[in-house]
Amino acid sequence: MNASTQNGSLDAADTKDRSTHCRLNDGGFITRSALIPWTRLNKPGLEGIQYKILNFDENRSYMVVLNTFDPGSRFAPHKHLGAVEIFMLSGSFFYDNGQVFADDFMLEAGGVTHAPGSDEGALMLAIFHGPLQILDNEGQVLVTVGIDEMYDLAKDNDAVAHLQKTQHRVALTSEG
Ligand SMILES: [Fe+2]
C-alpha cells in the first residue's frame, strides 16, 4: 500500500495498488472484492448465507452486496420491505414458482414474501432497496435484517475497511 491510498486520493495510475480499496480523485472508488473476507449472516433462518458489502447508502436503504448461498440451503420465509435486484454469477437457487441460474437477472419485488433454497449453492450480486423481515410459522416477524445489522456483522469480521459511509453517499448522489 502506498501513502496516497491511505490518504484516499489516487491518480489513475495508482489503481493497480492491491489494497482492498482506493479512492479516485474524481469522487469514485474501486473495491477489490477478492481481498474482503466473507461474513456469515448468522440470523435465524438465513444461516446459509455469506456476504461482502460493496457499497451502501444508509439514508436510502440502498446496499450492493456480493453473496453466496451454501449448497443445500433452505431459508426461512422472509418478507422484503424493498425490492432486490439480483444478477446470478454462478450456481442456482429456487422459489416455489421459479428457478434462477447463472447469468439470469432477477427482481424480487418489494413487499413479496418467499422462502428460497439452493441445492448446488449460488454466487450473486444483489442490490437491496430495503431491509427484509424473517418470519416464523405464524407469519410473525422474528428479526429484521438490513444495512445496520449486516454492516455490524461485517465490521465484527473486519470486512468494512473499504466502506466509508459519507464518501459512499457522495459517490452516489454528488451531494455534500
Ligand atoms: Fe428474498
The CATH number of the domain holding residue 129 is 2.60.120.10
Residues 6 or more apart from 8 whose CB is under 8 A from it?
23, 167
Residue type, 57: D
Q: Tell whether 24 and 42 lie within a shared domain.
A: no
Give the range of the structural domain holding residue 10, as residue numbers without chain letter.
3-33
Distance 103 CA to ligand 1 centre (A): 18
Distance 164 CA to ligand 1 centre (A): 26
The whole-number pLDDT of residue 137 equals 87
Distance 1 CA to ligand 1 centre (A): 38
Residues 6 or more apart from 85 whose CB is under 8 A from it?
105, 106, 107, 108, 126, 127, 129
Residue type, 58: E
Q: Tell whether 95 and 76 lie within a shared domain.
A: yes
Q: Tell whether 10 and 72 lie within a shared domain.
A: no
Distance 125 CA to ligand 1 centre (A): 13
Q: Tell whether 62 and 101 lie within a shared domain.
A: yes
Q: Tell whether 100 and 13 lie within a shared domain.
A: no
Distance 114 CA to ligand 1 centre (A): 6
Residues 6 or more apart from 94 whose CB is under 8 A from it?
100, 116, 117, 118, 119
Distance 58 CA to ligand 1 centre (A): 20
Q: Tell whether 108 and 21 lie within a shared domain.
A: no
Q: Tell whether 20 and 71 lie within a shared domain.
A: no
Q: Tell whether 112 and 68 lie within a shared domain.
A: yes
Q: Tell whether 151 and 65 lie within a shared domain.
A: yes
Q: Tell whether 26 and 98 lie within a shared domain.
A: no
- Say if CB 8 and CB 20 are below 8 A apart: no
Beta bridge partners of 50: 40, 68
Q: Tell whether 60 and 9 lie within a shared domain.
A: no
Q: Tell whether 64 and 17 lie within a shared domain.
A: no
Distance 136 CA to ligand 1 centre (A): 15
Distance 30 CA to ligand 1 centre (A): 28
Tell me the C-alpha distance between 138 and 146, whole Å. 22
Phi, psi of 5 (to 5 degrees): -65, -45
Distance 116 CA to ligand 1 centre (A): 7
**How many structural domains is the chain composed of?**
2
Distance 84 CA to ligand 1 centre (A): 7
> In tens digits, what is the pLDDT along the chain, a chain of 176 residues?
444 444 444 454 455 667 888 888 888 889 999 999 999 998 888 999 999 999 998 888 899 999 999 999 999 999 999 999 999 999 999 998 899 999 999 999 999 999 999 999 999 999 999 999 999 989 999 999 999 999 999 999 999 988 876 555 556 666 54
pTM: 0.85
